[in-house]
Amino acid sequence: MEVNRCIYLKEDNEISDFYERTFNTEGHTQLELHPNEYVFVGNEVYCYQDDFIRRVNYNTITSEYGGTIKPRNIEQIAAIDMLQDETTTIKLITGT
Protein backbone atom coordinates (compact mmCIF):
# COMPACT_ATOMS: atom_id res chain seq x y z
CA MET A 1 0.00 0.00 0.00
CA GLU A 2 1.37 3.37 -0.98
CA VAL A 3 0.75 6.30 1.31
CA ASN A 4 0.94 10.00 0.57
CA ARG A 5 1.41 12.05 3.71
CA CYS A 6 2.95 15.40 4.52
CA ILE A 7 5.36 16.53 7.22
CA TYR A 8 5.97 20.22 7.91
CA LEU A 9 9.39 21.25 9.24
CA LYS A 10 9.32 24.88 10.39
CA GLU A 11 11.66 25.18 13.36
CA ASP A 12 15.34 25.92 12.70
CA ASN A 13 16.51 22.82 14.58
CA GLU A 14 14.09 20.58 12.60
CA ILE A 15 15.27 22.04 9.30
CA SER A 16 18.98 21.70 10.10
CA ASP A 17 18.42 18.14 11.36
CA PHE A 18 16.60 17.30 8.11
CA TYR A 19 19.47 18.55 5.93
CA GLU A 20 22.14 16.87 8.07
CA ARG A 21 20.39 13.50 8.22
CA THR A 22 19.26 13.51 4.59
CA PHE A 23 21.94 14.93 2.37
CA ASN A 24 25.05 13.63 4.14
CA THR A 25 24.04 10.18 2.87
CA GLU A 26 23.81 11.13 -0.85
CA GLY A 27 20.03 11.36 -0.92
CA HIS A 28 19.35 8.19 1.04
CA THR A 29 17.54 9.35 4.13
CA GLN A 30 17.98 8.16 7.70
CA LEU A 31 14.61 9.65 8.60
CA GLU A 32 11.63 7.39 9.22
CA LEU A 33 9.48 8.25 6.20
CA HIS A 34 6.72 6.35 4.42
CA PRO A 35 6.68 5.73 0.64
CA ASN A 36 5.48 8.79 -1.30
CA GLU A 37 5.59 10.98 1.80
CA TYR A 38 6.10 14.70 1.23
CA VAL A 39 8.27 16.83 3.50
CA PHE A 40 7.84 20.61 3.51
CA VAL A 41 11.06 22.36 4.56
CA GLY A 42 10.53 26.10 4.57
CA ASN A 43 9.51 26.87 0.97
CA GLU A 44 10.98 23.67 -0.47
CA VAL A 45 9.16 20.38 -1.06
CA TYR A 46 10.76 16.92 -0.94
CA CYS A 47 9.24 13.51 -1.70
CA TYR A 48 10.41 10.12 -0.40
CA GLN A 49 10.25 7.38 -3.05
CA ASP A 50 12.18 4.12 -3.52
CA ASP A 51 14.41 4.75 -0.45
CA PHE A 52 15.50 8.08 -1.94
CA ILE A 53 14.41 11.60 -1.10
CA ARG A 54 14.15 13.99 -4.01
CA ARG A 55 13.48 17.69 -4.26
CA VAL A 56 10.18 18.42 -5.98
CA ASN A 57 10.44 20.91 -8.82
CA TYR A 58 7.91 23.65 -9.45
CA ASN A 59 5.69 22.23 -12.21
CA THR A 60 2.82 23.68 -14.17
CA ILE A 61 0.01 21.93 -16.03
CA THR A 62 -0.93 23.22 -19.46
CA SER A 63 -4.07 22.13 -21.27
CA GLU A 64 -6.01 23.30 -24.28
CA TYR A 65 -9.13 23.90 -22.19
CA GLY A 66 -7.76 25.03 -18.84
CA GLY A 67 -4.77 27.05 -19.98
CA THR A 68 -1.76 27.04 -17.67
CA ILE A 69 -2.30 25.96 -14.07
CA LYS A 70 0.39 27.09 -11.61
CA PRO A 71 0.67 26.09 -7.95
CA ARG A 72 0.07 28.93 -5.48
CA ASN A 73 1.71 27.34 -2.43
CA ILE A 74 3.88 24.40 -1.36
CA GLU A 75 0.87 22.13 -0.84
CA GLN A 76 -0.19 22.68 -4.44
CA ILE A 77 3.37 22.01 -5.64
CA ALA A 78 3.17 18.61 -3.90
CA ALA A 79 -0.34 17.97 -5.29
CA ILE A 80 0.73 18.66 -8.89
CA ASP A 81 3.82 16.47 -8.41
CA MET A 82 1.63 13.65 -7.09
CA LEU A 83 -0.86 13.99 -9.96
CA GLN A 84 1.95 13.80 -12.52
CA ASP A 85 3.62 10.78 -10.84
CA GLU A 86 2.95 7.77 -13.08
CA THR A 87 4.21 5.25 -10.51
CA THR A 88 1.30 5.90 -8.12
CA THR A 89 -1.98 4.62 -9.51
CA ILE A 90 -4.49 5.81 -6.89
CA LYS A 91 -4.39 9.44 -5.82
CA LEU A 92 -6.52 11.35 -3.31
CA ILE A 93 -6.22 15.01 -2.45
CA THR A 94 -8.20 16.41 0.47
CA GLY A 95 -8.18 19.74 2.19
CA THR A 96 -10.07 22.17 4.35
Residues 6-54 have pLDDT tens digits of: 777 777 777 777 777 665 545 555 667 788 888 888 888 998 888 788 8
Q: What is the pLDDT of residue 3?
A: 46
Burial class (CB in 10 A: 0-12, 13-18, 19+), 76: middle
The SS3 assignment for 45 reads strand
pTM above 0.85, yes or no: no
- CA angle, 20 then 22 then 76, to 5°: 115
How many helices (H) and strands (E) would you count in the chain? 2, 6
Which H/E stretch holds residue 6? strand 6-9
